[in-house]
Amino acid sequence: MSATSSRCFWTGSAGVPMAGLRTLALAFLPPLDHTSDFEAVCREVAEAGITRIVLQEICGSINLTASDAGPRVARVLRETGLQAIACHGLEHKPFLLRQADPDARRRMVDAQLDLMERAAALGARTFVLHLGNYPDGAEPSAAWEPVARALDLLAPRAAAAGIELALENSFRCTYLARNAAELAAFVASYAHPAVGVCLDSGHAHILDGAVAALEALRPHIVTMHLHDNDGRQDLHLMPGQGTLDWADFMPHIASCPRLRHLETEALKPRLGGTLDEIEPIPPLGEIHACYRALLNAQVPA
């Protein structure tokens, strides 16, 4: 990625309120890999004027699943003044929500619960979960049954912790859900107040179309991942660097009734990857300004 292509090319007018768009908090996903100094990055984030962040398993050299991670992250948040309002759940294959084997499901649930409750104690109010692959030849009821059984264990604990589980939409038709309508139907039928949806704009752009996915999932969206791509690959580009029509998409978020906040997810390394793969990373203040412009300054500083 060239230095020029790392810039935000959104042309919306920062400071001009978008009609009908209520004020929403924006949670910033810090650029981190397993070698990063979490405290140093958070200080840089705060110095850029950012006040809210997204937590994930890899908080730099701090692994949020470690037993001592909570107090360490809490100290950094306290000293930098940052609020961690969102968290991404565990993403590796053993922790995908659809685990057909009951023992594997129990291990997955235990691990996700541990991270979820730690994140909730740090201030997170949404917890994003990946679903897994759609089993070949399965009827929808059989495909979704293990997900429902996992949620039977996760959802009550989420409600008690004051956090909402956000099932993320896919960018592949071989994944759960195979399309936005299928995900909407499952969440509606499961009907638990602590279970909602994370609308990933980049995934939607590839599979359903961003606006079509948002409209299908509208009643259930509790958080959004905002990033761009070329409509074919999940590139996690800055808004405006790909082909997603942001001017068409953004007005549709105004009336999502359960939407708690928005999340940046540009410039994210692949799972298990490093920041070297996405160099150069623009200044954090520039990234934040890009997203604020995208939202027409409807995100509090």
In a domain, 54, yes or no: yes
In a domain, 112, yes or no: yes
- Name the average pLDDT for the chain: 91
> How many separate domains does the chain show?
1
pLDDT at 278: 86
Of residues 61 and 279, which shows the higher confidence score?
61
- pLDDT over 60 (residue 88): yes
**Which residues does 256 contact at the CB level (< 8 Å), separation at least 6?**
214, 218, 219, 221
- pLDDT over 60 (residue 285): yes
In a domain, 1, yes or no: no
d(CA 103, CA 81): 41
Task: Write the DSSP assignment of 96-139 as a string of letters.
Answer: SS---SHHHHHHHHHHHHHHHHHHHHTT--EEEE---BPPTT--
- pLDDT over 70 (residue 211): yes
In a domain, 9, yes or no: no
Phi, psi (rounded to 5 degrees) for 129: -125, 140
Q: Which domain holds residue 144?
A: 25-294
pLDDT at 3: 32
In a domain, 128, yes or no: yes
Q: pLDDT tens digits for 152-200?
A: 999 999 999 999 999 999 999 999 999 999 999 999 999 999 999 999 9
Q: What is the CATH number of the domain that holds 175?
A: 3.20.20.150
d(CA 50, CA 30): 10
In a domain, 53, yes or no: yes
Q: pLDDT tens digits for 18-49?
A: 445 557 899 999 999 999 999 999 999 999 99
In a domain, 169, yes or no: yes
Taking the whole predicted model, whether its pTM rises above 0.95 is answered as no
pLDDT band of residue 296 (cuts 50, 70, 90) is low
